[in-house]
Amino acid sequence: MLRTLFRIQSAVACAGAIALGGCAKTPVIVTPVENTPITPGPWKLTWSDEFDGPSGALVDPTKWVTETGGAGWGNQERQYYTTSASNASLDGSGRLVITARAEPANSQLACWYGVCKYTSARLKTQGRFEQAMGKFEARIRVPRGQGLWPAFWMLGNDIDRVGWPKSGEIDIMENIGKEPNMVHGTLHGPGYSGGSAVGGAYTLAGAAFADDYHLFTVEWSPGEIRWLVDDKEYRRTATSNLPSGGTWVFDHAFFMLLNVAVGGGWPGDPDATTTFPQQMLVDYVRVYQR
């Protein structure tokens, strides 16, 4: 989702087009693979947010930065990201709630297409917490409905210096409302961003992801990244899997992002079946190293 660049792209699958001006086409769906042994040794917690606090409290500013704006974020998104507790706050029961809301017709917020129709929130740990490699996970219940686009993802901490996609992007989880039982995991980097991004999808049998909480994880080691849903590996990408000419840029620290976008080239806009408000509930975010 865009920061200062605003390049409008066509249909997509990337929080990183969300991020900085480029969107990936829908990743190829892959069949979940059997879990395989991971590097020996216990994981050690290095950072977490359990979202403990009173109902209505804002997120901890020592852990999160709240981004704002309605310029489309590289994907023709319809929401304006705010700092309001009505869009991101604690629920008093150990959860972060990111709420996408419909705005009244007389809203004073300006978006790229005119008066903003929706508000939401986008949080990042940039400058607060950044780590190279390890295990990054969040237990999340996504919103539902056409045009909703929740994501849990990461960007390289050198993005302000080298730009996107040279910084690298790891999309841990993206879901779009028209695919209620599917989530996507994607990598973006030099030579494999936008339409050539490397990714896969996980399909939930017999249920929608919005029906319950699920654990979304990446395990990131030198030269390899694995994606898991509820501890089941479904995608693995290594340096040897990159397209010809692609450069592996996942050897430095990244920061995390949580957001709910509304509309855009990939999910499409909300329609008559979409109801608001819609909420993404985050039970916790935890990071580990060996």
* Contacts of 34-39 spanning 24+ positions with Cβ under 8 A: 34/233, 35/231, 35/232, 35/233, 36/233, 38/219, 38/226, 39/221, 39/290
Selected catalytic residue, list 103, 174, 219, 233: 174
- Name the band, by pLDDT with cuts 50, 70 and 90, for residue 182: very high
Least confident of 60-64, 190-194, 267-271: 190-194
Q: How far apart are CA 257 and CA 155, in angstroms?
A: 8
Averaged pLDDT for residues 216-235: 98
Instruction: Please state which of the ranges 40-44, 63-67, 242-246 shows the lowest mean pLDDT.
Output: 40-44
Q: What is the CATH number of domain 15-289?
A: 2.60.120.200
pLDDT tier at 194 (50, 70, 90 boundaries)? confident
**Span 133-158, mean pLDDT?**
98
pLDDT at 195 over 90: no
Residue 130 has pLDDT above 60, yes or no: yes
Q: Is 174 a catalytic residue?
A: yes
**8-17, 38-47, 50-59, 121-130: least confident range:** 8-17
Q: What is the tens place of the pLDDT at every residue in 159-168?
A: 999 999 999 9
Higher-confidence residue: 247 or 20? Answer: 247
pLDDT band at 40 (very low <50, low <70, confident <90, very high): low
pLDDT of 91-106, one tens digit each? 999 999 999 999 999 9
**Residue 282 pLDDT > 90:** yes
Active site residue 169: yes
Mean pLDDT across the chain: 89
pTM equals 0.88
Beta bridge partners of 63: none
Catalytic entry in 77, 130, 137, 169: 169
Q: How far is CA 172 from the centre of its chain?
A: 6
- Residue 110 amino acid letter: A
